[in-house]
Structure formats: structure tokens, C-alpha cells
Amino acid sequence: MMYKKILLLPFSFYLVPYMHLSLAIDYLFDSLIGIFLFMIVTITIGFYAKKIHCISLLILGNIINILLSYTLIVLKSPLVELYHSSSPFIVAIPLIILFLFTQLTGIFWAHVLQKEGALSTDKGNKN
């Protein structure tokens, strides 16, 4: 029982407004480190979700994160005020699409590797 809860722990990442955090990191350090860092995290979580067959939890996490992001924009969070130039909604939509695309890439590669048997946990012979 506890093992199943530990398997779901990476999905708590969706309670963090990573879209805004990536933009704030990029603004503060004048680089793209934040976006690249969170792209790696989201592709890994997409891969992991496919591997443990929790795509529905991934979809729910994305919905929660998108709602959290838009709530931060509406409430005019200081995190949003760090980076927005005209409208934070204009910045949010392409980033949501980018992060969803990276998750789909992770899901795709997990599917391909599972199909080839590279991710198989079966240690027995296939003779």
C-alpha cells in the first residue's frame, strides 16, 4: 500500500506552478535555464506516467496546474509580475503547449521502449 503511494509522489510536481516558476527563473537569470529545466522534468514525468500506466493522473495533474497558473494570473501574483510585459495570458498559452508537447514526447518514447521490451521488468528467458 505504501509502495503505491510512493509511486505517485512525482505527480505532486503539478501542485507547483512550474510555468510561472520557469519564467521567473529565466527573467531573474536572463537566460532560458528555467524553461529547459522544467522541460526535462515534464518529459521525465510523461515518460514515467506511461511506464506505470497513470496517464489519467498525468491529465488530472495538467488540468490542476493550468487552473493554478490561470488563478495566479487572475490574482496578480508577484511571481507573474516579475516577467510579464503586456498580458501574462499571451505568455502562458505557448508555454502550456510547449510543456504538454514535451510530456507527449516522453509518453511516446516510453510507449516505443515498452513495445520493444527495453523497459520490461521481466527477468526470465523468452525462449
Phi-psi region of 76 (alpha: psi -120 to 50; beta: other; left: phi over 0): left
Query: How many CB atoms lie under 10 A from the CB of residue 7?
Result: 12
pLDDT tens readout for residues 11-39:
788 888 888 778 778 777 877 888 888 88
Check residue 125 and give left, alpha or beta (phi > 0: left; psi -120 to 50: alpha).
beta
Residue 3: inside a domain:
no
Looking at the 3D structure of the chain, how many domains does it have?
A: 1
Is the pTM above the cut of 0.85? no
- Residue 41 sits in which domain range? 16-116
Task: Convert the pLDDT of each residue in 47-85 to its tens digit.
Answer: 988 888 888 888 888 898 888 888 887 787 666 666 666
- Give CA angle at 4 (101, 53), nearest 5°: 35
In a domain, 70, yes or no: yes
Does a structural domain hold residue 55? Answer: yes
Q: Is residue 23 part of a domain?
A: yes
Half-sphere exposure of 109 (CA within 13 A, CB side): 11
